[in-house]
Structure 1
Amino acid sequence: MTTRLPAAVLWDMDGTIVDTEPYWMAAEIRLFASFGLEWTHEDAEQVVGMGLWESAELFRRHGVDLEPDEIVYGLTEQVREQLRTDGVPWRPGARELLQELREASVPTALVTMSVRSMAEDVVRAIPFEAFDVIVAGDEVSEPKPHPEPYLLAAQRLGVDIADCVAIEDSPTGITSAHASGAVALGIPNLLDLRGTAHHHLWDTLAGRTPVDLGELLVELRAERSDAHDHDGTADDRGHDDGKASA
């Protein structure tokens, strides 16, 4: 039997498609240093996947004396400049899987808490039309970990969120994807995703195909059906799959 493909695949950007988290961390450290403050790598890990304006408020509480918009757009411009000068650091397998999804006519959305200008920079660097929809951090009222970004992407694509796979690299993003009703697929990068609300963990997208993503939907539906048969409740416990992280 042919595996049914997802109705759509919804992609996080920073840390999932492009390995830009080190760029953000370096920009944050420079920002704090400009106020004579220390901001460590461990501190920066706290805001991976967080909405930019929520991060800005956290920075202000730690002594950065700027308005939130100044912080957000200042950091964004530093990251965009590093993308221009150093190039786009692609995550393994991301562009290849995106291209296969396009060739299979599976709709795709970019769901990022970065602002649209930066999202468009990354999209332009992909040598094919990779996304039908972009949902950016400056376009949502509730950022990740709230489900709104993923729900909005599914709405704009005209698909049922329960038939979508969302690909994420951070606990914040996994929480958002899971809460939306999508299949939450974690691809760990800087942060350990074990213990998060993922449905599946793969250690890489390299070598993965649209059929692999479709099988995640089939497997999750089977698990939910079995759990319902046993006790009348759905079992959404996450687990590792295939090439899962140790």
Structure 2
Amino acid sequence: MPSDLPTGEALQAVLFDMDGTLVDTEPLWWQATASVARTLGFELGPADTPHVLGHTVEDTAAHLLSARPPSRPAESTTDLIRLLTESFARRVERSARVMPGAPDLLHQLSAARLPTALVSASPRSIVDLVLPRLGHRFDHVVAAEDTARGKPYPDPYLEAARRLGADPGRCVAVEDSPTGITAATAAGCRVLAVTPEDGLPSLRQIRER
């Protein structure tokens, strides 16, 4: 099958973002963050989007602390992380939806014996809630706790490639957010950006990337 990878450099692995790519949880994360923001005395708006979607819970907690009204007493970062995680987990348990086409694509990758990794900005506790819904055994899972720096830094994708024994340049990363795309690109991965309108790529599109 045609590919723009240089001759002899076959695709080694496919690395998937989770929230917004395989499961429709980004609206749930926004809702969870908005509910915590209200306890700090403000409403989230469009200007907050780049600081919330695609980021770790630690980064989002730091943003909420910096954005709260000066008149409000500061919560501890630890308390905010706990509140955000608990609020998100309740919503994921109740209504997380697998993206259309995700189970079929993951099944095709298994049948083709292409290694896969899940590379998520969510904490391990959230990833563990989602994994059973996907019905796929990833070769490795990199969650927020697994690297010192999360997306948009390249660390999570570099760690996934390292665990797989793969060259990042011979991996395709499937991502939906600017934060995740920046991280995968910085790691040297070939990136397929997905949108709700276009859905997930086909196996052929992944191979050709």
TM-score range normalised by the length of the shorter chain: 0.7 to 0.9
Q: Distance in 1 between matches of 2:40 and 2:185?
A: 38
Give the corresponding residue for 1:114. Answer: 122
TM-superposed CA distance for 1:179, in Å, is 0.8
Residue correspondences, number:
199
SS at match of 2:21: coil
Query: What's the TM-score, normalizing by structure 1?
Result: 0.75
Residues 61 and 81, structure 2, Cα contact 8 Å, conserved in 1: yes
For the aligned residue pairs, the C-alpha RMSD in angstroms reads: 2.0
d(CA) in 2 for partners of 1:95, 1:80:
22
Q: How far is the alpha carbon of 1:98 from its aligned partner?
A: 1.1
Determine helix, strand or coil for the equivalent of 1:105: coil
| Residue 36 of structure 2: aligned partner | 31
Gaps of 5+ in 2: 4-8
Shift of 1:5: 6.1
TM-score by length of 2: 0.87
Q: For residues 78 and 69 of structure 1, what CA distance do their matches in structure 2 show?
A: 14
CA distance in structure 1 between the aligned counterparts of 2:94 and 2:57, rounded to whole angstroms = 23
Q: Which moves more between the two structures, 108-117 or 28-37? A: 28-37
Instruction: Kindly indicate whether the alpha-carbon contact (under 8 Å) linking 2:57 and 2:84 is maintained by their aligned counterparts in 1.
Output: no
Cα displacement (A) at 1:126? 2.2
- Deviation (angstroms), 1:82: 1.6
Partner of 1:21: 26
Kindly indicate whether residue 75 of structure 2 is the aligned counterpart of residue 71 of structure 1: no
Q: Which amino acid aligns with 2:204?
A: V
2:148 aligns with one of 141, 148, 159: 141
- Counterpart secondary structure, 2:23: coil
Identity over aligned pairs, percent: 37
* Secondary structure, aligned partner of 2:37: helix
Q: CA deviation at 1:2?
A: 6.8
| 1:204 and 2:199 correspond | yes
Task: For 1:69 and 1:104, locate their aligned partners in 2 and report how far apart those are by CA, in whole Å.
Answer: 43
| Equivalent in the alignment of 1:224 | none
State the distance in 1 between where 2:77 and 2:107 align.
36
**How many Å separate the matches in 2 of 1:96 and 1:44?**
34
1:85-142, CA deviations, whole angstroms, 9 ceiling, x for partnerless residues? 22x211222221111101111111010110011111111222342x111111122111
What is the identity, as a one-letter code, of the residue corresponding to 2:24? D
Answer yes or no: is the 8 Å Cα contact 1:19–1:91 preserved in 2: yes
- Could you tell me which residue of structure 2 aligns to residue 45 of structure 1? 49
Aligned AA (2:25): T
Matches within 5 A, 1:1-246: 6-40=11-45, 42-46=46-50, 47-63=52-68, 65-86=74-95, 88-129=96-137, 131-189=138-196, 203-205=198-200, 208-216=201-209
Instruction: Between the two structures, name the one with larger relative contact order (CA 8 Å, sep ≥ 6).
Output: 2
The answer to whether the 8 Å contact 1:50/1:143 transfers is yes
Query: What displacement does 1:215 show?
Result: 0.8
Q: Structure 2: which amino acid aligns with 1:35?
A: L
**Residue 188 of structure 1: how far off its partner (Å):** 2.4
